[in-house]
Chain A
Amino acid sequence: MSKKNQAHGQAPATAHAPDPHAPAAHAKPHGPSTSTFITIWLTLGVLTLIEIFVPQVYSAPWNHNTKILLLIFLASAKAILVAAYFMHLKWETRWVRWIALMPAYMALFAILLMCEEYFRPLL
């Protein structure tokens, strides 16, 4: 997320001034261009292709954890790309981003669950 977007509310609204760094520049139509959308779409396609082969490549019990971490990383990367670019979150204010991020705290429980699954056999 760019730093300039976090400076919202610090300068007066300048709807009449086409300054790209002014808060007015955060309005929806200043989002990404068509080429950015297509780049994101292609990236999502490639990441999906990689995802299909991860369970086959990391199928042995000894690399089970690598498979889990890699798949979660790939899914998170894809979800962040969709939220940031397709949902324009990259161009929203910090408040809107926090609203969007609220359900992500549930990942803490998922991490707790994975920690227990991993460490319980060691106890």
Chain B
Amino acid sequence: MTESHSTTAAVPHDEHVGHATGGKVAMWLFIAQDGFSFGGLLLAYALLRTWSHDWPNPQHILGIKFTAVGTFDLICSSLTMVMAVAAAQRADRKALVGWLTATILGGLFFLGMQAYEYTHLVREGIGFTQGTWEGHPINPLFGTTFFVVTGFHGCHVTAGVIYLTFILFGAMKGKYTQGGLSYSPVELVGLFWHFVDLVWILVFTFIYLL
């Protein structure tokens, strides 16, 4: 019997959500409401930017290529995350621990890049409620929206790294590689982590590129 058949037997088929576990539906609901939070922040940013006639060009202030590296790092960590879920599904503890560790390192690398970026911007004069660039005052809302949106995302990455670390400890004990539905917590943390990646794709476009 394969892993998949024991899974489908363990979760009765539901008319609406198929074989999705209760945990998975709950995580999707959480992700949906979290998506509204990010959507609200991005809309507020778009409104403030549209109403301002002196919005600086983000390309001149923010490091696009530097942040693109961070973006690709999150994409790589999404790949390692799906590999972790696949490892848990085939009950391969060693691979699961390896892929989870790689995902955590990817998250920490992103946070390190963000800390470096924040430090650089603050030193250059971009603050939370005020901003100067190369000695000239700029629209203070640029810094406000930048730090609120990227900071809110950074909090999610931090929460994701902590969540992944707890899952890693469980994985090292073999909790998620016992067959059946034991892999489910890894799948749930994976959904959250991919959501963090997905949101960054949008934040990177709206805050940095546009």
User: How large, as a class, is the contact surface on chain B?
Assistant: 35 or more
Write out, one digit per residue, whether chain A residues 37-71 have a CB within 8 A of any chain B CB (1) or not (0): 11001001100110110110000000000011001
Determine which residue in A29, A49, A71 has the highest number of CB atoms from chain B within 10 A of its CB, and name it: A29
Q: Once the chains bind, are A86 and B82 in contact (CB under 8 Å)? A: yes
A121 within 8 A of B: no
Cβ of B193 to closest chain A Cβ, rounded Å: 9
B76-112, CB < 8 A from A: 76, 78-79, 81-83, 86, 89
Q: Once the chains bind, are B7 and A29 in contact (CB under 8 Å)? A: yes
Q: Once the chains bind, are A28 and B187 in contact (CB under 8 Å)? A: yes
Find chain B residues with CB under 8 A from A87 CB.
Answer: 190-191, 194-195, 198
Known contacts A28-B89, A68-B210, A93-B17, A113 near B46 by CB under 8 Å: yes
| Count of chain A to chain B residue pairs whose CB atoms are closer than 8 Å in the complex | 158
Known contacts A52-B65, A93-B17, A28 near B7 by CB under 8 Å: yes
Q: In the bound complex, how far is the Cα of B201 from the Cα of A67, in angstroms? A: 16
A34 within 8 A of B: yes
Q: Once the chains bind, are B5 and A92 in contact (CB under 8 Å)? A: no
Q: Once the chains bind, are B201 and A78 in contact (CB under 8 Å)? A: yes
A1 within 8 A of B: no
Find chain B residues with CB under 8 A from A48 CB.
Answer: 68, 71-72, 75
Q: Once the chains bind, are A27 and B28 in contact (CB under 8 Å)? A: no
Cβ of B103 to closest chain A Cβ, rounded Å: 12
Determine which residue in A67, A82, A86, A116 has the highest number of CB atoms from chain B within 10 A of its CB, and name it: A86
Find chain B residues with CB under 8 A from A30 CB.
Answer: 4
Q: Once the chains bind, are A99 and B29 in contact (CB under 8 Å)? A: yes
Write out, one digit per residue, whether chain A residues 17-45 have a CB within 8 A of any chain B CB (1) or not (0): 01000011011111000100110010011
Q: Once the chains bind, are A29 and B3 in contact (CB under 8 Å)? A: yes
Closest-by-CB residue of A relative to B16 is A95
B1-45, CB < 8 A from A: 2-5, 7-9, 11-20, 24-25, 28-29, 31-32, 35-36, 38-40, 42-43
Known: A15-B9, A48-B71, A102-B35. 12 other contacts (CB 8 A): A9-B14, A13-B13, A27-B18, A28-B187, A34-B86, A51-B204, A79-B201, A86-B82, A96-B17, A100-B28, A106-B36, A113-B46
A-B CB contact pairs (8 Å), 14 listed: A8-B18, A23-B18, A23-B19, A48-B68, A48-B75, A67-B210, A68-B210, A86-B78, A87-B190, A92-B18, A93-B16, A96-B17, A103-B36, A106-B36
The 7 closest A-B pairs by CB, nearest first: A103-B35, A13-B13, A106-B39, A29-B4, A75-B205, A93-B18, A95-B16
